[in-house]
Chain A
Amino acid sequence: MIPSQMLKGTLEGCVLAILRQEERYGYEISQNLECYGFGRIPEGTVYPLLLRLEKRGSITASFRASPEGPQRKYYALTDLGQKELTEFFRNYRELNRAVEQLIEMTGGYPHAQEDEAAFGGE
């Protein structure tokens, strides 16, 4: 389970990434995040984030009928959202590279050290 503080900074970019393939509704986004290994993130956590993205113009929303009955609000990426996603990917790659480098230069991942100790560094 990823700690919520760690998730906070990246969740917005991850939602944009999910929407780049096709438009989705809130529950689907929440399900997708779970499938990708983010753990269970309730729709109620994703909704304020979607509101923020919609207000900023990064995504648009449209209503469509669902087979279950109530209308669903589908979200789609806008051009601004696409630009923000590209920026997110660039920033994330930079952060990831820096953190990976830091971990490597300070002794690697703990479990990797344990593995080395167990297998005699092979």
Chain B
Amino acid sequence: MRKKTKLLLEENNRAEVALSEKGQELLTDIVVYLRGSRISTWEQEQVRRDITQMLRDAEARGEQAESVIGPDLKEFCDSIIAELPPMPRWESLLCALRDGLLATAILAAIWLGFGVLEGLLGAGSWPALTLTIGQLISGAGILLTACGVVYWICRRSFSVDQKKGPWVVLFLVLFAVLCAGIFLRQPVAVLPVPAAVGTVVGLFAVYKLMDLRLD
């Protein structure tokens, strides 16, 4: 995230606290819905600042947030999204890649941590770390599931019904991913610890470089 976006985000976080609990809840729903759109984080934060000011002003006048925004929050958000330029497809792809890199770096760091722990306990293939097909499948499964959950939450931020179905599916998918990680133990690669550390640091460094130039 660029510096100006980060500063505005921090400013908005501070301003949001001044809202009532109901106002904060409403603003969160709006922001979550906007996060799922293709507009840049910079544009999203500018809109967030405007709406926060709108709501704070309304609360200072003693008005309800709904009377200022209008009765249909989704329609309000859709009309905002329609007025803002969507990110070019290549930039959206780069942002997705950046987020994917961070998630991969975190998963790889967890794998590395467990590998080192196994080594310290005298198990595994120490001083090298073995990456199994099950770990690869479960890593990819976790990443895809996380993307799906974020997309689902963003699209349904104004929904009031509490369906249990998607949570059951999520539980089953995560269970399958866990089973794959445990039972599929064919090795894909054997990495010396310094190479594994280098990979994790490399992934994080590329993420950082991309993050400084995107959004």
Which residues of A approach B to under 8 Å, CB–CB?
A: 26-27, 42-45, 47-49, 51-52, 55, 66, 68-73
Contact = CB atoms under 8 A, between A and B. Distances in A.
B56 interface: yes
B98 to A, nearest CB: 26
B79 A48 contact: yes
B205 interface: no
B73 to A, nearest CB: 9
A3 to B, nearest CB: 16
Nearest to A54: B83
B117 interface: no
A100 B10 CA distance: 54
Tell me whether chain A's interface is mostly helix, strand or loop, or mixed: helix
Contacts of A73: 50, 53
B83 A72 contact: no
A54 to B, nearest CB: 9
Contact of B68 (A42, A48, A49, A51): A42
Given A55-B84, A66-B57, A71-B53, A44 B15 contact: no
Tell me whether chain B's interface is mostly helix, strand or loop, or mixed: helix
A47 B53 contact: no
Contact of B83 (A42, A44, A52, A70): A52
Contact of B82 (A47, A48, A66, A68): A48
A69 B56 contact: yes
A27 B70 CA distance: 13
Nearest to A66: B57
A51 B80 contact: yes
A44 B69 contact: yes
Interface string B164-206: 0000000000000000000000000000000000000000000
Given A47-B80, A70-B56, 19 more contacts: A27-B54, A42-B69, A43-B69, A44-B54, A47-B50, A47-B76, A48-B82, A49-B83, A51-B47, A51-B83, A51-B84, A52-B83, A55-B85, A66-B57, A68-B60, A70-B52, A71-B53, A72-B57, A73-B50
A26 B76 CA distance: 15
B44 to A, nearest CB: 12
18 contacts: A26-B54, A27-B58, A42-B68, A44-B54, A44-B70, A45-B70, A47-B54, A47-B80, A48-B79, A48-B82, A49-B83, A51-B47, A51-B80, A55-B84, A68-B56, A69-B60, A71-B53, A73-B53
Contact of B18 (A42, A43, A70): A70
